[in-house]
Amino acid sequence: DISGSITAPDVKLNLGGEFIKESTATTFLRQRGYGWLLEVEDDDPEDNKPLLEELDIDLKDIYYKIRCVLMPMPSLGFNRQVVRDNPDFWGPLAVVLFFSMISLYGQFKVVSWIITIWIFGSLTIFLLARVLGGEVAYGQVLGVIGYSLLPLIVIAPVLVVVGSFEVVSTLIKLFGVFWAAYSAASLLVGEEFKTKKPLLIYPIFLLYIYFLSLYTGV
């Protein structure tokens, strides 16, 4: 007859000068090479970033770009090239979504259509710019076109007030479109286009006319 008993070895861990006795299951795993299952990783500082930093959202940068678009005059001293040279996604998306929400007086089905026009309209401007020899990235065009919707958002409440005055309303619409188109074209149409500038400014102007038509329901 074979008889006897097996007792778990008395294994202790030295943690900071204190000895802690391991359980039988822990000892079993360590003896068979599965001790790595018991290891606990230290917290990674990068996992504890704030949500805005995790999403790469810089509110100060977005606010500065908004001011650059709304006040495109060079004499004001803004470094407007930052809108083109340092493009972001969340700022233009927020502007486009806000424009969508105020368009057609709460008919939210227009939101997806305006976002589609923003994406594919920017793609058209980008392709045309590259064909004409411009050195611009699609992300830059997407950001500039999106931010430059701000003038149309600014004139929106004014159109509600003067909507019954057709002449005044038309003048304000033209002012808003020229404001938006100038803000975008002054960033996208550089000296590299030389005599080809009208070929890029014209579709930008038409794009903002179409955005305004989506707002007014024409």
| Local mean pLDDT, 10-residue blocks, the chain (218 residues) | 52 47 64 61 58 73 85 77 82 85 67 86 90 84 90 86 82 91 85 76 90 74
Residue type at 53 in one-letter notation: E
Alpha-carbon dihedral sign for residues 115, 120, 126, 128: negative
Question: pTM value?
Answer: 0.69
